[in-house]
Structure 1
Amino acid sequence: MSRIGKKPVALPKGVTAEVKGQTVEVKGPKGTRTFTATDDVTLSLEDGALKVTPRGLSKRARQQWGMARSMVENLVTGVTTGFRKELEIQGVGYRAAMQGNVLKLSLGYSHEVNFDVPTGVTVTSPKQTEIVVEGIDQQLVGQVAANIRDWKRPEPYKGKGIRYKDEFVFRKEGKKK
């Protein structure tokens, strides 16, 4: 039995859901999101909550049960509060600035890095050393944050680079004489 899958996903005030076969569409104040589940689970709307049940006792059905429930919960969270990733830049001369739909990064290279922000996410730079990625799709927000971080990952000797706000970078000691 899936402990996660057993719990129904409650719909907060202002959020509506519509189930059509294996597809669930959730509408909320921040937008609309859809998810199509596999044939191993059944989606139903009961008493103002979305419920996911397995169609059999096979291993795949039990695996999809918890995963489908988590995906539906992420839809509801996305359209109500949204998802957010915060990045910070450390290093002398390293900075970020938004110009229209392009994030301009100065990261110690001989040129400036221009990162085109995809549709569906909002990237802001409240300070020169901070980047905030927000959106209603958790996967897209995380992927955009990871792509920005990949331009200059934090290095272990001086700690310079782009890191997540709560990330711990293990520091190494340099060479000794």
Structure 2
Amino acid sequence: MSRIGKRPIAVPAKVEIKIDGTKIVVKGPKGELSRELPTQVSVSQEGQTLTVERKDDSRVSRQMHGLSRTLVANMVEGVSQGFQRRLEIQGVGYRAQVQGRNLVMNMGYSHQVQIVPPEGIQFAVENNTNVIVTGYDKEIVGNTAAKIRAVRPPEPYKGKGIRYAGEVVRRKAGKTGKGGKK
């Protein structure tokens, strides 16, 4: 039995939910999200709680049970509180700034790298080296943060590049001395 799938989802007072068969629409103060759920699960609302149940005990139904519950819980949390992802830029001369809605970064290339945010995503920069990606859709926030990190991933020798806040980069030892074969 899925432990995650059995847990009920608490719905805050300012969030509206519409369930139409397998489609669920969640509307809140931050925005509106909709998702088509798999046919193996059904969502029911009782007062201020949502429950996700599976139709049978097949392997696919069990797999979709916990996944669907987590997706719906993320939708409810996103439209009520939102999500954010923090990135840190390390390296001499590496910096970022916000111009309009776009994120413009100097990352040691011959040109500036400009990232246009998708709908519902905002960028903020602290101290020219900390980038904050915020939005109400967890999936899009994570994908946007991954695209920013992919501009210059942290390298293992000096640790320069863009990393998630709290990410540990394993460092390698470089070459040592001149004691090689001739």
TM-score normalised by the chain length of structure 2: 0.94
Superposition CA RMSD, Å: 1.0
Query: 1:57 maps to which residue?
Result: 57
* 2-structure distance, mates of 1:79, 1:101: 21
Structure 2 counterparts to residues 93-172 of structure 1, below 5 A: 93-172=93-172
- Deviating more after overlay: 43-52 vs 58-67: 43-52
- Deviating more after overlay: 84-93 vs 113-122: 113-122
Moved over 3 A (4+): none
Query: 2:33 maps to which residue?
Result: 33
Structure number with greater Rg is 2
Structure 1 unaligned blocks of 5 or more? none
Query: Shift of the alpha carbon at 1:169?
Result: 0.6
Aligned residues, how many?
177
Structure 2 unaligned blocks of 5 or more? 178-182
Matched position secondary structure for 1:162: strand
Query: 1:91 maps to which residue?
Result: 91
TM-score normalised by the chain length of structure 1: 0.97
Identity, in percent, stands at 46
Q: Deviations over 1:40-97 (max 9, x none)?
A: 0111111321111111111001111111100000001101111100001000000001
Query: 2:17 maps to which residue?
Result: 17
Query: 2:180 maps to which residue?
Result: none
Q: Deviations over 1:129-165 (max 9, x none)?
A: 1110000000100000000100100011111000001
1:2 is aligned to 2:2:
yes
Q: Deviations over 1:84-123 (max 9, x none)?
A: 0000100000000111122111111111111122222111
Matched position secondary structure for 1:24: strand
* 2-structure distance, mates of 1:27, 1:112: 37
Letter in 2 for 1:139: E
